[in-house]
Amino acid sequence: MGKRTLLGTNLYIEQTTRHAFNLDTILLSDFIKVPYRSKLILDLGTGAGAVMLYLSQKTKVKIIGVEIQESRYLQAKHNIELNQLKHQLSALHMDLREIPYRDVDCIISNPPFFKTTETSNMNLNEEEMIARHEVKMTLEELIKTSSKALKFAGHFFMIHRPDRFAEINDLLKKYQLEIKRVRFVHPYIDSKPNHVLIEAVRNGQPGLTIEAPLILYKEKQVLTEEMTSIYGGRSYVT
């Protein structure tokens, strides 16, 4: 297990190589705008708790991470204690489909991207398989559970694959979640997007804002100014 600084913050995170947070975590954390007057945020599939840690830098709202894998739950719990954030953050070891919460202000998730039928990307390590593939939680189960737990006009944030955007939109509408804000992420300005960031509102009125695309690199190994700013922690400056 290695200890490292959480990029752009003064916080620390300890994790094994297999549990390492990645670009998805940083992009989602930057995209999230915590709703005004929120009292509770749920992070479904929190992993080692990196998104919770990031959000603690932009809000004082109580955040609860839910994680089905015991090893990752224990890491999230440890990282909360490591940063002395037990007054704000906590973690639960449970199946997200069984969460007892209702009328939640905000739910965030960096879920498994791949269906179990997408065998070309299967990892033989069970923990990685669960984190990357819909083994313990399908996309529909995540969205259904989130809608059930959110209050009227509650906000839902997620990051996913652009090639599943139509499916995501259909499922969100099925469970009374209206997409309000979308941002596509491209490796280079002339390349196809490889991530999509989504904000939806339960029982929200129609009205979609497609934000300017986020470009990661100007050229090979040279970050754009915006990505340099994101890595530097632009969202967490008070």
Domain interval for residue 38: 2-236
Element (H, E) at 18: none
Count how many domains the chain has: 1
pTM for this model (two decimals): 0.91
Cβ neighbours of residue 60 closer than 8 Å, sequence gap 6 or more:
88
Nearest to 105 by CA among 58, 133, 63: 63
Q: How far is 77 from 86, CA to CA, in rounded Å?
A: 9
Q: How far is 27 from 171, CA to CA, in rounded Å?
A: 22
For residue range 90-121, what is the model confidence (pLDDT) as tens digits?
999 999 889 999 999 999 999 875 566 665 55
Q: Mean pLDDT score of the chain, rounded to an integer? A: 89
- The CATH code of the domain that includes 202 is 3.40.50.150
Nearest to 81 by CA among 91, 72, 69: 91
